[in-house]
């Protein structure tokens, strides 16, 4: 155990402090914003809370229709979007794994870029591993969102008829909640994509990495709580 700890400590000393700070800042903002968005989604004015109200109204109207083909078609369209991103994520992961196996050749190319910090093999592989972790996280989020949209399809198919819907409000709320949870995981997968763009700045400079991370989180926050789309979507409530 002591030798393992010594090896980890030596590994950390081989990484420049600026890169350690950049990665710490990246993780802190990602985790912090995710916790904030999930905890206060229903308490504050946000796209998620407004869209949940729309989903609830959708499910309430769905229960008044005899023919639910339109509703099934909407969920199918959502599933196609999620499935596309899940498939694209696998392709990106395959490309990153290939690049990880050709690290020495890639470093030679990086050394030809005058504006980029010249990385060691260890630091280069660490940056690629961070990108791989980001896209693995995104893949799990997309596939879980896809499964939850499948569950939403089942709830639409199993919905009671308008005449038999004695507890229609409770059923609509359950169906809307499943749809909202699927959308939450889809959004978290998309958030990983946005943050992967910030992580690309790490290959140029750790300070650019921190700046790009801050800008991405700021853009995501503005879109979620202050965008024109939010004002338009909530105008009826």
What would the pLDDT profile of 206-226 be if each residue is shown by its tens digit? 999 999 999 999 999 999 999
Out of 83-97, 100-114, 168-182, which region has the weakest mean confidence (pLDDT)?
100-114
Q: Is residue 145's pLDDT more than 70?
A: yes
Average pLDDT over residues 156-167: 76
> What confidence category does residue 7 fall into, taking pLDDT thresholds of 50, 70 and 90?
very low
**Mean pLDDT for the chain overall:** 85
Opening angle at CA 214, ends 213 and 216, nearest 5: 65
Task: Answer yes or no: is pLDDT of 85 > 90.
Answer: yes
Compute and round to an integer the Cα radius of gyration of the chain: 22
**Exposure string (b/e) for 174-209, b if CB count within 10 Å is 16 or more?**
ebbbbbbbbbbbbbbbbbbbebbebbebbbebbebb
Task: Give exposure, 19-53, as e/b (b: 16+ Cβ within 10 Å).
Answer: beebbebbeebbeebeeebeeebeeeebbbbbbbe
Taking the C-alpha atoms of residue 48 and residue 53, their distance in angstroms, rounded to an integer, is 9
Contact 35, 219 (CB under 8 A): no
């Amino acid at each position: 155990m002591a030798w393992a700890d010594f090896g980890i400590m030596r590994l950390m000393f081989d990484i420049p402090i600026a890169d350690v700070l950049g990665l710490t800042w990246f993780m802190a903002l990602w985790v912090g914003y995710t916790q904030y968005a999930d905890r206060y989604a229903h308490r504050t004015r946000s796209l998620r809370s407004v869209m949940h109200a729309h989903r609830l109204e959708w499910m309430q109207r769905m229960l008044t229709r005899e023919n639910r083909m339109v509703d099934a078609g909407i969920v199918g369209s959502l599933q196609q979007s999620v499935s596309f991103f899940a498939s694209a994520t696998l392709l990106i992961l395959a490309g990153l794994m290939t690049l990880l196996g050709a690290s020495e050749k890639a470093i030679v190319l990086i050394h030809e870029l005058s504006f980029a910090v010249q990385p060691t093999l260890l630091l280069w592989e660490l940056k690629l591993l961070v990108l791989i972790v980001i896209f693995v996280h995104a893949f799990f989020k997309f596939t879980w969102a896809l499964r939850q949209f499948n569950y939403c399809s089942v709830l639409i198919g199993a919905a009671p008829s308008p005449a038999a819907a004695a507890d229609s409000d409770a059923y609509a709320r359950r169906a809307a909640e499943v749809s909202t949870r699927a959308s939450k995981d889809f959004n978290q997968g998309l958030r990983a994509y946005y943050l992967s763009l910030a992580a690309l700045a790490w290959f140029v400079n750790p300070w650019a990495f921190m700046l790009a991370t801050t800008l991405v989180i700021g853009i995501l926050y503005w879109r979620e709580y202050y965008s024109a789309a939010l004002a338009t979507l909530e105008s009826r409530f």
